[in-house]
Amino acid sequence: MLKCSTDKSGCTARCIKIGLLIVAGIAAITWVVMQLWNCLLPDLFAGVSRIGYWQALGVLVLSRILFGGLRGGGHGHWRERRAHWESMTPEERQQLKGRFGSRWGKCCSSPKAEAEENPGDAGSKPTGSV
């Protein structure tokens, strides 16, 4: 989860954008399922009728429950990552954090964490001169 509790401008907007993208993605997948069902199944099987959008969403949820489980997938993957993280030295952890920080930005990090990462820059503001 992204932490949107900072005072940085743009952090909340970024979290909202990500949330909207997730909702739009689910809506698009639901529409695709509805279209595939309506194009294929009524012609292939006698007695199968066309479905609406909300029924397609129900089919997705039901398939997730039946085939994906309620807890989600890939928990073993995260256990492996955690074990790898715990086996790393503090220097290796900092290096990895730095790589992720440069990749994902510092939008949603806490001001305390930023002050710890940049102790000389704490409270200083850029002047804008070049």
**pTM for the complete prediction?**
0.53
Dihedral, 92, 93, 98, 103 alpha carbons, nearest 10: 110
Give the integer Cα–Cα distance in Å for 32 and 70.
23
Domain boundary among 24, 57, 73: 73
DSSP-derived secondary structure letter, 12: H
Tell me whether residue 125 is in a domain.
Answer: no
Which of 24-28, 44-48, 114-118 shows the lowest per-residue confidence on average (mean pLDDT)?
A: 114-118
DSSP-derived secondary structure letter, 121: G
Report the residue count for the chain: 130
The predicted-structure confidence for 37-92, as pLDDT tens digits, reads as follows 999 999 999 999 999 999 999 999 998 888 876 665 556 677 888 888 889 889 98
Same domain, 47 and 96: no
Tell me whether residue 92 is in a domain.
Answer: yes
Give the integer Cα–Cα distance in Å for 107 and 12.
9
Tell me whether residue 25 is in a domain.
Answer: yes
Same domain, 46 and 86: no
Read off the amino acid at residue 73: G
- First-to-final CA distance of the chain: 37
Tell me whether residue 64 is in a domain.
Answer: yes
